[in-house]
Amino acid sequence: MAELGIVIAPGVDPYSTLGALAREAEDAGFSAVFVSESNNDAMLCCAQMARATTRVRLVTWIVNIHFRVPVTCAAAAAMVQELSGGRFVLGLGVSHRPLLESLGIEMGNGREHLRAYTIEVRRLLSGQALAPGFELRVSKPHHPVPIYYAALALETARLAGELADGVELYMCPPQRMGRMAQAAREEAARHGRKPSDVTITMGLPAFVHDDLERAMGVARRRLAFYASLPFYNRQMARAGFEAEAQAATAAAQRGDKKGIEAAMSDKLLDSMALIGPPARCLERLAAFREAGAEVPIIRPNEIDQDPITTIRSVIKVFSKAA
Domain ranges of the chain: 5-224+270-321
Q: What is the CA radius of gyration of the chain?
A: 19
User: Which residues have CB under 8 Å from 112's CB, separation 6+?
Assistant: none
- pLDDT of 11: 67
The pTM is what? 0.95
Q: Taking Cα atoms as reference points, which of 291, 271, 274 lies closest to residue 283?
A: 274
Nearest to 205 by CA among 93, 16, 61: 61
HSE-CB of 151 using CA atoms within 13 angstroms? 32
pLDDT of residue 89: 98
Flag whether pLDDT at 13 surpasses 80. no
How far apart, in Å, are the Cα atoms of 295 and each of 34, 125, 201? 11, 26, 5
pLDDT digits 0-9 by tens, 114-167: 999 999 999 999 999 998 888 889 999 999 999 999 999 999 999 999 999 999
Question: What is the distance between the alpha carbons of residues 127 and 264, in angstroms, rounded to a whole number?
Answer: 48
Provide the CATH number for the domain formed by 5-224+270-321 in this structure: 3.20.20.30
pLDDT at 1 over 70: no
Taking the CA of residue 321 as centre, how many other CA atoms within 13 Å lie in the half-sphere pointing to its CB? 23
- pLDDT tens figures, 259-316: 999 999 999 999 999 999 999 999 999 999 999 999 999 999 999 999 999 999 999 9
The string of pLDDT tens digits covering residues 178-199 is 999 999 999 999 999 999 999 9
Residue 87 host element (H or E): none
Q: Percent of the chain at pLDDT above 70?
A: 98
Q: State the average pLDDT over residues 53-76.
A: 96
Q: Which tens digits make up the pLDDT trace of 211-226? A: 999 999 999 999 999 9
* pLDDT at residue 61 in the model: 95
The whole-angstrom separation of Cα 164 and Cα 149 is: 7
